[in-house]
Amino acid sequence: MTKQRVGVLISGRGSNMKSLIAAAQAADYPAEIAVVISNVPGAGGLAIAAEAGVRALVIDSKSFGKGADGKRKFESALTAELKAARVDLVCLAGFMRLLSADFVNDWSGRLVNIHPSLLPAFKGLDVHAEMLRAGVKIAGCTVHYVSAEMDAGPIIGQAAVPVHSGDTPETLAARILDEEHKLYPECVRRIADGEVRLRDGIAVLSGAPASGALANPVRSPR
């Protein structure tokens, strides 16, 4: 089996990256993690990747300067490393830099992200507190292709969790994160197995989810 080569971009603790690395350790998983790149020096995920034997490197976004010029230079360094690692698919996993339309277009159909809400609801940052303020009863996470507009690309998979009355942003985030760790590896598996096609701006899935991770019913409150 020729495995798809995945590059994971992080900025922080890297728990989603860790779940992708763990899934890719299975012999029958159709993808391997070719490289992890952090735009933040000292990001927690770097040590986790290195410990797992995955090549991990830093491209410090701040070192390229501010403005469009700095962004362009940072992104060409990113692309150079991803190409050098012969990456087929780029997974954003807590990557906190907005990517330019040029970068997104260059990697179109090969660039995915995980977001801790049921998109298209609750885009952007601080979504857990926002969901609690809105009083939603069901929350969740979404894996989607990245488009130039933030958190708006074609949806590949989603998983739902209940919101409890005593939830804080932290307890809700932890419940959603548990689902993220199952959903992301499952979506990458389906992409690598060729089960995801883009048709008219919508991701169409064939085959069956291996673990029921996709479109899961809301679990009964614990």
Largest alpha-carbon pair distance within the chain? 50
In whole angstroms, the minimum distance from the beta carbon of 4 to ligand GRF comes to 20
**Beta bridge pairs of residue 8:** 36, 91
How far is the C-alpha of 222 from the C-alpha of 220, rounded, in Å?
6
Piece in contact with ligand GRF (CB under 6 A), picked from 7-15, 33-41, 65-73, 159-167: 7-15
Spatial neighbors of 32 by CB under 8 A, at least 6 apart, are 3, 4, 5, 6, 24
Q: Is 140 in the site for ligand GRF (CB under 6 A)?
A: no
Q: Is 114 in the site for ligand GRF (CB under 6 A)?
A: yes
Residue number of the CB closest to ligand GRF reads: 94
Strand order in 4-10's β-sheet? Answer: 56-58, 31-38, 4-10, 89-92, 111-115, 138-145, 155-162
How far is the C-alpha of 119 from the C-alpha of 203, rounded, in Å?
14
In whole angstroms, the minimum distance from the beta carbon of 90 to ligand GRF comes to 14
Is 115 an active-site residue? yes
Out of 15, 100, 147, 171, name the contact with ligand GRF by CB under 6 A.
Answer: 15
Q: Which of 115, 128, 144, 181 is catalytic?
A: 115
Site for ligand GRF in 16-55 (CB under 6 A): 16-17
**Which residues are part of the catalytic machinery?**
115
The residues of the shown chain that bind ligand GRF, judged by CB under 6 A, are 10, 12-17, 93-94, 114-116, 141, 177, 180
